[in-house]
Amino acid sequence: MTLTEMLNSDKYQRWESDRLGNDLFINDPQRAARMHEYAEEGLNGSTHDEVIQDWRDYLTDAELPEPIKESLLIEIDAAEEWHIRNGSINNIIGD
């Protein structure tokens, strides 16, 4: 499984929907408000760092074999490093 396959999976989509739904207003009201504001313009509103952390949190919850989790973490780490090197880790997606 690749990172792209994980992100497009029904399981991840359901997990993300739950995480970014009403629970976000309780757990991270600042991010929730920002996402709501940006959604009016058809944009995401999350930072790259927040989304990458979401991916990591999903893997913590996911029932996947450890070798697959390790492979996905390598891809996640590479994405994070790319954004750090390019100075975009804290940029809002689509901004």
Residue 29 maps to a domain: yes
pTM of the model: 0.89
pLDDT of residue 76: 98
Residue 81 maps to a domain: yes
Checking if the pLDDT of 82 tops 80, the result is yes
Task: Give just the sign of the alpha carbon dihedral 64, 66, 67, 70.
Answer: positive
Number of domains in the chain: 1
pLDDT of residue 44: 86
Residue 60 maps to a domain: yes
Residue 14 maps to a domain: yes
Mean pLDDT on 40-45: 86
Mean pLDDT on 38-55: 92
pLDDT of residue 72: 98
Residue 92 maps to a domain: no
Mean pLDDT on 19-44: 87
Could you list the residue range(s) of the whole structural domain that residue 39 is in? 3-85
Residue 94 maps to a domain: no
